Structures are given as structure tokens and as C-alpha cells.
Amino acid sequence: MDSLIRRLQAFRLGENESSPEDSHKSERGKGITLAQKLISTGTLGAANRGRLLQALYDIGASSRADLARVTGVTRGTIGGIVQPLLDQGVLAEGEVIPPNETGGKPATKLWFSKDARPICAVLLLHDRVSACLVSLEGEVYAQNAVYFPKNVANAADAFRVISTCIEKAVAFGKPILGIGVAVAGMINTETGTIVTVGLAPFLDGFPLETELNRRFGVTVCVDQDTRALLVGDRWFGQGRGRRNFASVYIGETLGGALYLDGHLYRGPAGAGGEIGHTTVDIKGRMCQCGRRGCWETIASSKWLRTEAKVRRLPRPLSLDVSRLLTLADKDVPGARDLIRDYAFNIAVGLANLQQFMGKRDFRCALTASAPLKRHRTGFDIRLYQATVVLE
């Protein structure tokens, strides 16, 4: 399984089946760069095993015959892909399916083994780090979170906090399969290095993937938090079984990620897909990125609090969508207008994203930093109404 993980990390499962290095090499010295190359025999098996695991997440526990039908290959091919995963304890055989009226052998459903090594999932924000130990089925065994000290000023001190948090989360007992880190910032995905994290300059340029690999001795994958959110939606959420969709996160910042034609889009070295910094108002406010009128400037939690203060709503500095909807239910002056404007601002960016991805197949998973609880439906209706107006 370790070799599978290493190979999948090398070319990123479900994306271009060519390495970043290969895509920039010229053919035969003629200066020709191929968009895609053939999959080598060394990575073909890992690619097929990864896609079979994704198929199980998409359709649930399945027999070899079912997997053969879904993936379009023979049962013999499925058997060759499945057996190493059984031997390594990643998959296990479970429920026996009796033969149908026409006869034949009984089939056995395959699913993730309860004894498989878990994965450590980490979320790194500018002020805190959270880690949890999770099974291949998505069950959380243990979790831990800690804030950075107020006086932290260098990457070495921050890394001690990060590694200690991980150590406490993985102290559950089972050896881990690997570590996945979602960082709220820009990441060089080819090297696993943090480019920058807003409000946490002490992390800028830190080779997190290398240091975690050295510290824990397992495979490590570091990526942007919104792309990690999209992968979670693809494997477990609204994106399951889809070839095209987007995930948008709205909090102190606004970020998004794209899944296009069956591939997670990262751009060169992870620099692509900055949806929050698409321009929606050329005469708008200055953004922290240095440009004017970015979507983030009118649709983040920061904008919401600023507007709440201007409109004299109560306790504006602690306002989130959930409390704003509560104020609207109580007919607090200005609350309903602010909800309408905020939903419209979010919808402006979603409408652009819809045009980019195509109306017919457009699906978007929207996640807010503050839980909407019982108000979620009401906000969804306002957001839908705003989007319809824009269309």
C-alpha cells in the first residue's frame, strides 16, 4: 500500500497521468511539449487501484462482477487489481450475494477493511492547527486542535506546535497510512511547500511536506484547503460520481476549487483556481491580493461585518450569517436588506462560475465557516433567488 500511495502522490490520482516534470520536457530535442504522455507500466497498476477505490466510494460495497460492469473491464482484470488491496489489508471481503435464478457462483461484496491503517487529516489555519485520525470509510477515531501561541514568530516554533498536535491525534494506537494537510493559503503542490498564509508570515516558504515526512516517516500530501474540501466532496459528498463540479468556501476569505472533466484543477505548481480573486467590480474595494474588486471583497465574512457596522446592526464585529438570519427573524431594522445584499454578492461570483463551467452540468458545493443550523434553508432560498435574477 505504501508503494501505491507514493505512486499516486507522484502523479496525483484522477488528474493528468503525467508527471509535472514530464510535461515540461521536449520530445527528441525538438522543443515539442506534449500535453499528456502515456502511463508507464510502473504507474498503471497504481492508477487502476486508485480508480477502483474511487469506484467503491461512488457506488458502495460491490462484488467483483459489479465493479467490472461499472469500470468497463473484465472480472479477471478486476481480480488482478483487487488482490493486492486484499493482501495489504486495504479491502476486505464481506457479505455473500447468492446467485440469481440463472445460476452461477455466489459473489462476495468488497469494502474497506476495518483493520486498514487510518489516515491523519490536518487543517492548518493562520492561528491554529487541527488534526484527526480517520478510517478509509471516513470514521473519525480521534481528534486534536491547538492554537498557535500569540508570540510565535518563526516556522520552527510553528512546526513544533503542528507536529505535537499530530502526535496527540495519532496516539490512538494504529500505525497511520499517511498524512494529508489542508492549508489555508497558497501551496506549491509540486514540492509541498507553503508559499504564503495570510496573517501568518512565519509559515511563508516553509517546506511542510518534507518536514512532516522526515518527522513521521510516512507519505505526506499538502494542498490548499479549498482543494482538500473539493476532494472531500468528490469522495464523500455532493461531488460523488460527478465529472464536473466546484466547491466554494466562504469565511474570512473566499476560496474555491474546480473539478473539470474528472480532474482536480490545480494549475502550474498549484497556482490556479483562485476563484475568490476573480474581478466582479472594477471600481470596487482594494483586495488583500493588491487588486481591486475581487469577489472576496464583497462576499466574505469580513465584508458582512463591515456592512453590519455601517448599517448599525447590533454587535456587528461578531456577526455571522446564522446570527444575521436570527436578527432578520426578529425584524431588526436593516437585517433583511443585508441578507439580500450578501446573497446577491455571493450569487454574482456563482453566476460567473456557472458560465465558466457550463449551465447544464453546473453543480457547486457551498460551505460557510459559520454553521447556519436551522436557518440554512432560508439562506439557500435567498441565494437561489439572487442567482436566478443574475441569470
Kindly state the cell numbers that stand for 125.
489555519
Calpha distance 311→361 (Å, rounded): 38
**Which candidate, 118, 122, 257, 146, places its Cα nearest to that of 194?**
122
What pLDDT does residue 26 have? 43
- Which class for 310: exposed (0-12), middle (13-18), buried (19 or more C-beta within 10 A)? exposed
Longest dimension (CA), the chain: 74
Distance, in Å, from the CA atom of 127 to the CA atom of 143, rounded to the nearest integer, reads 17
Which parts of the chain have pLDDT scores under 70? 1-37, 101-104, 360-361, 369-391
What long-range pairs does 97-100 form, CB within 8 A, spacing at least 24? 97/63
Predicted pLDDT of residue 277: 93
d(CA 110, CA 99): 16
| Per-residue DSSP letter, 100 | B
pLDDT tens for residues 329-370?
999 999 999 999 998 999 999 989 988 888 766 777 777 765
**C-alpha grid cell for residue 379?**
439562506
Residue 103 DSSP label:
B
What is the reported pLDDT for 198?
Answer: 83
* Rounded Cα gap, residues 312 and 46, in angstroms: 58
Q: What does the pLDDT read at residue 27? A: 45
Query: Is the Cβ–Cβ distance between 181 and 124 less than 8 Å?
Result: yes
What residue spans of the chain are helical by DSSP H?
Answer: 2-11, 41-59, 64-71, 75-87, 155-169, 208-216, 225-236, 296-299, 301-310, 321-329, 335-357, 376-390
Rg over alpha carbons for the chain, rounded to the nearest Å, is 23
H-run or E-run covering 92: strand 91-97
Measured over the CA atoms of residue 8, residue 10, residue 13 and residue 19, the dihedral's sign is negative
What pLDDT is stored for residue 33 in this prediction?
Answer: 61
Residue with cell 472594477: 282
**What is the pTM for the complete model shown?**
0.82
* Residue 24: per-residue pLDDT: 45
Q: What is the pLDDT of residue 316?
A: 96
Which residue reads 484527526 in cell numbers?
132
